[in-house]
Structure 1
Amino acid sequence: MTPLKSLLLSLCLLTLLAACGGDEPTETLPPVTPPDEEEPIIPPGDDEDNANANEADEAHPFATDLSIPHLDAENQYVEHIVSFREQEILNYALEWVEDKRHAAWVAFSFDSETCQKNVNRTNTWMPDPFISSSPQESDHKSDGFDKGHLCASEDRVYNRTANEQTFYYTNISPQMTSFNGGYWVTFEKLLQTWARSGAYEHVYVTKGGTLNHLLTNFTGTQKAADGRLPQTDADGLTNHGLACPAYYFMAILAKQGENYQAIGFLVEHRDDYGYSNDHQAPVELIQAHAINIDELEVQTGLDFFCNLPDKTEAQVEATYEESAWEWKVTE
């Protein structure tokens, strides 16, 4: 034993004897837990934590794509995939709501390949081969509505098969003619301009109509190409039993490097905006419909961009910067 250790031991013994020699009772301290029995320290949440992410499986390999909202097990989730330049690409996905006969949403993305314009519109209308209850052409006849694309034909022109898939009837919504060709089309063109501008590596998109807010007991003022006025019943259904949304929406997430920015649009489904195929809405009007993603989630009941890390998701969904987007259409 070294002299220093001997001295320290002597001091400890003297201190112990002094403490025990008094008449006053001493306070008993709680035992010290040995280090190996201490409760584990739980670290704060990691930047990559994600409590609400989807899970991919063999049947649905793209469920974790950033464009896909949180999946609802009560609906049918379908991925439409194409082969392009020796790789399998998610063309778009959708979630089908059986009792509404309408998609809850469609989701897809633009990158350096899927933003390309290689083919023309195919007009290959057909039932969705993956959904047994898919509407048919007869479900869109003589109802006073246009066959409005959710994932637009012009969104998928990098490959012929990709464009053909946009004509599946599960990707179609009953839209008023002037809304489809005169107003909503400007939103679509603005999105396509952003996606093809070269400013972003990826643009992730979820589009659809509000199935939680349907257009009920409605009779329009402008006839469609079939010569009929658009009408819905008390349940918000067309004369063929298809749900007719009261609003249409877009949720857009753009990525460049490690930076994300997001913006949402919510647009009332009306036929009195005063625009048409020959006189489309100016982009200045579009800005008035912009909202943050948090607000869009409240209005639609959907959980967008759930596959982002929670911290990133919370940041990009809480607000949007109008000045961060280029408000002009070149498509």
Structure 2
Amino acid sequence: MNAGQHTTRRLAARAGQSICRSCRESISRNNYATAAAVAVQSEDQVSHAIPPVAQASPSTAYAINAGVVLSRPPQITRDLHPFESAFFLYQKRLNERLALPFSRYFYFKKSTPADLEWKRKIKQRLTPARDIGRYKGYGEEAWNDEVLVGAKESDLQWQVERLLEDAATDGRATGEAEQKSAKNIERELFEKPMPRRTEADEKNDTKSLNRALQRTLYLLVKAKDGKWQFPEDRLNDENIHGAASRIITQCGGLNMNTWLVGHVPIGHHQYNYTKPTKLPSGLTEHGAKTFFLKARIMAGQANLKDNKLGLKDFKWLAKDELQKEVDESYWKSVKNMLAER
């Protein structure tokens, strides 16, 4: 006797009714068939619950465009996070503490020019490392040597200026008589590092590639309809890679040394026309789909003077700046293609 028969008998006993032999045999025979029928019925119900997929009409069409995400990669290292700056300053000061008992006679022979120059410089510096402030390792105030929040010693530009000042001096006191030598002239002509902020940063010149050197900049153009977007054009009996190469030349001119990174699109954007267009072939064009290829600029600059795409203006913008210029729907399509830095 199976579980179905036990269940039937228990239900009948509870209801005070008896089941005839023929009924019991029919229940026994139809036990598995009934379960299979229920399973089929549930599958049919699930299949009917799924809505049918809307298929596009054979007369519906979309234009295929090729777009170019032309970028200039970062030229310098990124700006340090405040925590990183504080940690590096802590490391420098810790190394200075470890170097305090410096045995100069191990490195410089006594009374040699190198030894005299070292003594002059340490007398002027008052510390082995001028760029991070003076460290008084001995005395009653030796314990009170932590850098306070907002102190000038923690500023990176202040540290650079102190290092340049130290490199330009030989340790002699101001006004001390000395005769110019080739060595002194060489000290005055040492190379100084370029600033991290350029003139284009100060003027916020968005057409310059010499701006935001620690960020990735993207070429954004103003199309005929006044919208800002990446350079794009319709395919003309060519593949997407060939179209992208053509678009770069027709958009920015020949004065750009560029490189198309690959042949596979990195993203796409679809938009519908406000009014469908009837094509000569009888199809109705409802919109366009733009597939973007990635490219890099190594040298040169964009020039829209003789462009053949009807572009009105251009800008080199970082990702957060680009978001403010393009439409919301366009931004949702392209944001994941762009680098944060």
TM surpasses 0.5: no
Higher gyration radius (CA): 2
The interval holding the TM-score normalised by the smaller chain is under 0.3
TM-score of the aligned structures, taking structure 1 as reference length: 0.21
- TM-score with structure 2 setting the length: 0.21
